[in-house]
Homo-oligomer: A and B are copies of this chain.
Amino acid sequence: MDLKQDLSHYIELINKELQKYMDIYPRKNKTLIDAMNYSLMAGGKRLRPVLALASYNIFNHEIEEVLPYACGIEMIHTYSLIHDDLPAMDNDDYRRGKLTNHKVFGEGTAILAGDGLLNYAFEIMLQDAVKRKNVSPYVESMRVIAEAAGINGMIGGQIVDLESENKTIDGDTLEYIHLKKTAALITAPLKIGAIIGQASEVDIENMEFIGRNLGLAFQIRDDILDIIGENDKLGKNVGSDENKQKSTYPSIHGLEYSINKVKELTLSANEKLMKYNNASFLYELSNYLINREF
């Protein structure tokens, strides 16, 4: 199998589905849809929805079953970026090499575009769920997503991140931020892929373990790239965390330790993945994520 080919195939499926959801232009609120569309279609990596599809494919074959929930997760991820970039939060002008949402549409519209994407995520998932005969796995998946995105998940990580600016924080607090702000919404797609794919309890737990490890590895790699990466590849200013005096994994634990930690977490995830016959895509993807440069 070819990682890049499979990845392109997944991303194409996701982009088509997302575009379908955005091809609704109500008479009166075009600005809002434009602002939502701007960030949702800004060329993100689609890592989270790809993970949902790949996890589902280990256990089942009707990929349309998981697609709306994969797209819901991507909408939630995108809303979090829009709000995170706002002047009252990280105050970033660029994201993925493009002007941030509020820089193009203004702060008020950017806040509403974020709200709109979070709400729309649940709306499209529920629109799908009401049509399902065996609805339980879908309801449980939405619960998992809400929990991962919420006050004990991503938003919980955001608030601690916000409070930690211009402060020295300890390793535990940073790990909390990374686990909640990043790993939670990387674990969720792997988990719901298994739930909707009708996997066993043990398999669902395995996917959760893999998600936690890959999510943390992914964020530490991000911290590393902020130091050693190139501006144009990352699409944001290298050293931007340092400029904001934000603690990062390397600033607390050192660069070498951080690089080893990424390897260790990935290895541990891959050990679990090796138990599955159809997990070669995820296996290769996790190896690719260790070495990614953007």
Tell me the A residues contacting B by CB distance below 8 Å. Answer: 24, 26, 28-29, 31-33, 36, 79, 83, 86, 88-89, 106-112, 114-116, 118-120, 122-123, 126-127, 129-130, 135-136, 139-140, 142-143, 146-147, 149-152, 155-156, 158-160, 162-163, 173, 176
Contacts and interface: CB of A to CB of B under 8 A. Distances in A.
A31 B119 CA distance: 23
Contact of A156 (B32, B79, B114): B32
A244 to B, nearest CB: 13
Nearest to A27: B176
Contact of A88 (B29, B106, B142, B163): B106
A152 B24 CA distance: 10
Given A119-B118, A139-B135, A155 B111 contact: no
A116 to B, nearest CB: 5
Does more than half of chain A's interface fall in helix, strand or loop, or is it mixed?
helix
A88 B89 CA distance: 14
Nearest to A127: B143
25 contacts: A24-B152, A26-B152, A26-B156, A28-B156, A28-B160, A31-B163, A32-B151, A32-B155, A86-B108, A88-B106, A88-B111, A89-B108, A89-B111, A112-B159, A115-B115, A122-B122, A122-B142, A123-B146, A123-B147, A126-B143, A127-B143, A129-B143, A130-B139, A130-B143, A135-B135
A139 to B, nearest CB: 5
Given A112-B162, A123-B146, 15 more contacts: A26-B151, A26-B152, A28-B176, A29-B151, A29-B156, A32-B151, A33-B151, A36-B151, A83-B111, A83-B115, A88-B107, A89-B108, A89-B111, A115-B155, A119-B149
